Structure 1
């Protein structure tokens, strides 16, 4: 690699890391700006009632395609009980340099938990060109349960479109990963693991939004103890595709893709 190219790449990596660190440093102030009084641990109120911002689980990311904007996601907790609760998802966009709130959207009860709870969230800033040259960004939400006998995990993707002064969800809870099974906690059992790849096609549909193609690869397996060793005694791989079209306000999911 030429020295000039190496230095350029190194500079870009350092700049990206610096932006990420700055994002995390600015995050508490941005949350307080959006929810005055949060920093004093007060119970806040809005049109839906009482809530608190779960700052420890809030995340941020400078949007690589639009570095003048920073993405923020927070959990607004409405109810908390032993083992279950209710929480809204709030997604915000801030002006990176001016630290000004550009747009926000709250999705009620999207982060509720019971037997299955939210494990983590992460922004997906792949170049989702859903309509014309407009870029959408994504948020991936990982969920799981706490059962050893019947483990389950799932990752879903939400896509958001930023307008002149508003933020709008255009794709909700698209499954990108799902797996689980039933076993004896030692070896014997049956498992299924599926991974998905999302493709934005060139085919334009309603209101100019491009059709989506979701490709699934699912591996089903059965394990058992053989000569003292735990082995996969039966395994099969399945492939499937799903066509997703835009409806009146957002993309419509086939029934097979609706999250559990």
Structure 2
């Protein structure tokens, strides 16, 4: 079970893109957009956009106010800047978008897979993760939000699709159980509004660990699979509640 927890932490929190030489600009962007707020530079991330190297992407985390602190929530600013000058091209602010759970580590990563939603609409992703792998009740999750950019405006089009969920319970030695679900996203055919649909492939596995003849034995149950398609309607992709990060 220990090995499984280590793999969970690695898979849920491994960033798709690390900082890429733009760290020095993050505080400048923070001062420009929210001079009254405190930037969490350790949680914030930025990188050049491979689809358009003249642009740099950033996801900036800001400490929440007193009410948000009680709810374990922080604020998120997602922006696009000119790579050469650092000038902000477009941005969107989302109060309370970063949720924290007691005893869990938070992480943010940029996802620059080629999300071509429409001929003139590219998108990139921001993945937020929580890792609570330590202790007798391990848990972890990663959610994906997509942001569309048409050359001028930036807007959220997919809100907190859960791409990984894991939870379990064990005696910290061997005996226990573990459930894990992963969801993989791929682009589909254009819909009524000309935007590509999003295909989601879901896989769930229930695992158990037991001591047998003095040896810890792990057993994986049969993998359960299902799929769903998200259509673009009224400016966004609607995520079913069971597949969305709460709060």
Q: Same fold (TM over 0.5)?
A: yes
- Residue 54 (structure 2) pairs with residue 68 (structure 1): yes
- 3-state SS of paired residue (1:187): coil
Secondary structure of 1:208's aligned partner: coil
* Structure ID, larger Rg: 1
CA contact (8 A) 1:217 1:237 kept: yes
1:179-203 deviation line (CA, Å, top 9, x unaligned): 111111111111111222111112x
Partner residue, 2:195: 209
Task: Give 1:101's aligned residue.
Answer: 88
Counterpart position of 2:29: 30
Residue aligned with 2:181, SS: strand
Structure 2 residue 215 is the aligned partner of structure 1 residue 229: yes
CA distance in 1, matches of 2:20, 2:117: 30
**C-alpha distance in 2, partners of 1:116/1:245?**
36
Aligned to 1:246: 232
Flag the 1:109–1:35 CA change in 2: closer, same or farther, 3 A. Answer: closer
1:141 and 2:128 equivalent?
Answer: yes
Q: Please give the alpha-carbon distance, in whole angstroms, between the structure 1 residues aligned to 2:105 and 2:79.
A: 19
The CA deviation string for residues 117-148 of structure 1, in whole angstroms up to 9 with x for no partner, is 56211111010011125311111111133661
C-alpha distance 238-244 of structure 1, shift in aligned 2 (>3 A): same
Choose from 104, 108, 113 the match for 1:121. Answer: 108
Contact 1:83 1:114 in 2 (8 A): no
Alpha-carbon distance change, 224 to 236 in structure 1, aligned in 2, over 3 angstroms: same
Query: How far is the alpha carbon of 1:113 from its aligned partner?
Result: 2.4
* Aligned pairs (5 A) from 1:162-201: 162-201=149-188
Q: 1:98: how far off?
A: 1.8
Q: In terms of mean alpha carbon deviation, does 130-139 or 101-110 score higher? A: 130-139
CA distance in 1, matches of 2:69, 2:157: 33
Q: Within 5 Å, give how 1:5-16 maps onto structure 2.
A: none
Structure 2's unaligned 5+ residue stretches are 1-16
Give me the whole-angstrom Cα distance separating, in 1, the residues matched to 2:220 and 2:197. Answer: 36
Shift of 1:31: 2.9
The offset of 1:162, in angstroms, is: 1.4
Give the match for residue 13 of structure 1.
Answer: none
**Number of equivalences:** 229
Q: 1:8: which partner in 2?
A: none
Please say if residues 110 and 127 of structure 2, whose CA atoms lie closer than 8 Å, have aligned partners that are also in contact. Answer: yes
Taking the aligned partners of 2:56 and 2:220, their CA distance within structure 1 comes to 47
